[in-house]
Amino acid sequence: MTVDNIKTMVHKYDFLVIGSGLAGMSFALKVAHKGKVALICKAGLEEANTYYAQGGIASVTNLKVDNFDKHIEDTMIAGDHISDPAAVEKVVKGAPAQIEELIRWGVNFDKKENGDFDLHKEGGHSEFRILHHKDNTGAEIQTSLIEAVKAHPNITVLTNHFAVEIITQHHMGIIVTRHTSGIRCYGAYVLNETTGDVDTYLSKVTVMATGGCEAVYRQTTNPLVATGDGIAMVYRAKGVVKDMEFIQFHPTALFHPGDRPSYLITEAMRGYGGVLRTKDGKEFMQKYDPRLSLAPRDIVARAIDNEMKTRGDEHVYLDVTHKDPEETKAHFPNIYRKCLSIGIDITKDYIPVAPAAHYLCGGIKVDLDGQSSIRRLYAIGECSCTGLHGGNRLASNSLIEAIVYADAAAKHALSVVERYDYNEDIPEWNDEGTISNEERVLITQSMKEVNQIMEAYVGIVRSNTRLTRAWNRLDILYEETEALFKRSKATRELCELRNMINVGYLITRQAMERKESRGLHYTIDYPKK
C-alpha cells in the first residue's frame, strides 16, 4: 500500500454508541462520568424515531387507581402472550424511576392545574398512564436530551458519520460462524461522510441504538434513516436476531406518492366519526368487524389491505365530510393544514389513506442487561428484541423500554468496562474501489425494488407464495449489491441498501418460519384458530 492510500484514522473511546435517539443518548449520559463516549449519528441529532413519536410514554404514576400488575397484564395481552414475562416486569417496574430521570434532564410532561401529571389513556391500556407533552412528546424528550448531551464534556457527537460494520475477530482473519462461541466486538468501522474515509473506532464497549427498519417499506411513518443498520450489522457479524416478522403497521397514513415518510392520520379521526370507504365511495368495514372503522389497529389495517389488493387500488378513503366543518378544523388543525397543502379540503373531500409500516417489535436479541449474543456489544431501543413486545407492541411502551434498557445496559457496562482493553491488532478498512455517478442509479433503483418487494409480498397480510417470491427477488438484489459493494468505495447510500436487503431478508425468513398467525404476523396459509 502506498503512503497516499493511508488516510484512515484510528480513534479510541471507552464507549462507542451508534445511534442518537432516546436509547443512545440516555445511555451516553448515564456512562459519560466514567469515560469518553463517541455518539455516532448518521444524520443530525434530531433525526431519530424518538423525535417523531407523537403519543407519549407509558408509566404507572397514579397509584390511587393504577398498579404494576395492571400494566404488566395489558402488555402481555397486547403481545399475544408471547412477551417475555421477565422483560415485561423489568420495564413496567423500572419505568417510574426513569421518568424521574427524564424530568431531571429537563423534559416537561404536561400537568394539570393541581400539579398532577395530565395522563392520557391509549388503546390496550386499562388505566390512564400515558405521560405526554402535547402531541409531540418524542420531540420534547429528544430536544431536552440533545441539550444535556451537548453540555457534557466527555461526550463527542459525530454527526454525518455512518457505521459500516462492527469489528469482531472476523476482521483479524479468524473464521466466525453462527455457532462460534465467544464472538467479541472491538468497535466499528465508521464512514466519515465529510471526508469519504472509513475510519477505525476502537472501543471497550459498543452500543447499538440504531432504531427500527421500517424504511424498507415504501409506505412508512418512520424517518428515512430507519434502514435497520444496527440489526443488519449484528446479523452480518453472526449475532442473534429475533422476531423480525412482527412489524406493526398503522392503518391510516396519508397517501400522497411524493411524500416519504408518510404523514400520519391519527386514530382519533376515526374516533371522531371518520368513515373508511373504497375508491368508489362505498363503506366496507361492516364486512370485517362489528366495530366498523373503530375496530383495533391490526383488524383495520388488514381490512384496508384486503380491499386494496382485491381491487388493485393503491389507497382507500377516510371520510369526515359529514361532520361539522368548523368542528373538524378545531379538532384536527394540523391534519387540516397538511391536507390543504396538497389540495385536499377534508371538510369537503375524502382523505386518501393507506397502511404504513410503523414499528418493529423484534430485532437484536438481548438479555435483561441489554447484552447481545456478541460480547462487549449491547443493543437498546427499537433495534433490540428484549421480549417486551412479543407479537405486538402496546401503545407508548416503546419509549419507556428504550430508557429502562439504556439504564440496565449502562449499569452493566460500568461494572465491566475496566476489565476490557482496546484491541490494537485491527486492520484498517480496505478503502480501494471506485463508484461513478452512473452506478448511483443502480443503488436508487435497487432501493425502490426493496421497497416494492416488501410492500407487495411481506406486508400486513402474507402467504407462503408471497414470501417465497420476496425471498427469491431479494436474493438476486443481494448478489448484485454485494458485488457492487466489493468493487466500490463505501458510501452511505450503498451501505444503507445492503442493510435494507439484509433486514428485508430477515423479516421474510422469520415470517416463513412462523407457521401460524400470531400478533402482527398474519398469513392466509395459517389463519388464526
Contact 477, 508 (CB under 8 A): no
C-beta atoms surrounding 116 within 10 Å: 11
**Confidence category of residue 465, pLDDT binned at 50, 70, 90:** very high
Q: What are the tens digits of pLDDT across the range 78-129?
A: 899 999 999 999 999 999 999 999 999 888 888 888 988 888 877 788 888 9
Q: Residue 433 pLDDT > 50, yes or no?
A: yes
426 domain residue, yes or no = no
89 domain residue, yes or no = yes
- H-type helices in 316-436, by residue range? 325-331, 333-341, 397-416
261 shares a domain with 251: yes
For residues 295-313, average pLDDT: 89
In this predicted structure, which of 52-56, 129-133, 496-500 has the lowest mean pLDDT? 52-56
**Confidence category of residue 449, pLDDT binned at 50, 70, 90:** very high
Q: Residue 346 pLDDT > 90, yes or no?
A: yes
For residues 425-443, average pLDDT: 81
Could you tell me which of 147, 165, 188, 236 has the C-alpha nearest to residue 15?
A: 188
Please tell me the predicted confidence (pLDDT) of residue 227. Answer: 95
User: How many distinct structural domains can be found in the chain?
Assistant: 3
311 shares a domain with 222: no
- Listed in sequence order, the residues at least 6 apart from 64 whose beta carbon sits closer than 8 Å to its beta carbon are none
The C-alpha atoms of residue 421 and residue 203 are separated, in whole angstroms, by 8
Kindly report the pTM of this predicted structure. 0.92
113 shares a domain with 157: yes
* Helix/strand/coil percentages in the chain, nearest 5: 40, 20, 40
Q: What are the tens digits of pLDDT across the range 144-163?
A: 899 999 999 999 999 999 99
Q: Residue 524 pLDDT > 60, yes or no?
A: yes
Four-point Cα dihedral 79, 69, 372, 508, nearest 10: 0
- H-type helices in 358-487, by residue range? 397-416, 437-457, 464-487
Going 315 to 506 to 189 to 481, the CA torsion angle's sign is negative
276 shares a domain with 138: no
431 domain residue, yes or no = no
232 shares a domain with 157: yes
Please tell me the predicted confidence (pLDDT) of residue 280. Answer: 95
Helix (H) / strand (E) containing 233: helix 229-236
Using the 3D structure, point to which of 358, 380, 401 is the last residue of a domain: 358
C-beta atoms surrounding 314 within 10 Å: 12
Contact 276, 284 (CB under 8 A): yes
Residue 118 CB-density burial (10 A; 0-12 exposed, 13-18 middle, 19+ buried): middle
- Give the structural domain span for 472: 437-523
Q: What is the mean pLDDT of the chain?
A: 91
**Confidence category of residue 54, pLDDT binned at 50, 70, 90:** low
389 shares a domain with 269: no
Contact 3, 193 (CB under 8 A): no
The C-alpha atoms of residue 393 and residue 218 are separated, in whole angstroms, by 21
For residues 419-439, average pLDDT: 83
Using the 3D structure, point to which of 358, 382, 409 is the last residue of a domain: 358
341 shares a domain with 308: yes
128 shares a domain with 18: yes
In this predicted structure, which of 94-108, 289-303, 480-494 has the lowest mean pLDDT? 289-303
Please tell me the predicted confidence (pLDDT) of residue 43. Answer: 85
Residue 12 CB-density burial (10 A; 0-12 exposed, 13-18 middle, 19+ buried): middle
For residues 455-466, average pLDDT: 94
65 shares a domain with 53: yes
For residues 218-227, average pLDDT: 91
Please tell me the predicted confidence (pLDDT) of residue 367. Answer: 97
429 domain residue, yes or no = no
288 shares a domain with 211: no
Please tell me the predicted confidence (pLDDT) of residue 2. Answer: 32
Using the 3D structure, point to which of 419, 446, 463 is the last residue of a domain: 419
Please tell me the predicted confidence (pLDDT) of residue 120. Answer: 83
Residues carrying an active site annotation: 297
413 domain residue, yes or no = yes
Please tell me the predicted confidence (pLDDT) of residue 267. Answer: 77
197 shares a domain with 266: no
289 domain residue, yes or no = yes
Which three three-digit cell numbers place residue 58?
407509558
Contact 289, 251 (CB under 8 A): no
Please tell me the predicted confidence (pLDDT) of residue 3. Answer: 34
430 domain residue, yes or no = no
269 shares a domain with 234: no
Q: What are the tens digits of pLDDT across the range 1-10?
A: 233 344 569 9
467 domain residue, yes or no = yes
In this predicted structure, which of 71-80, 291-300, 380-389, 507-516 has the lowest mean pLDDT? 291-300
- For the chain, counts of helices (H) and of strands (E): 14, 18
CATH number for 40: 3.50.50.60
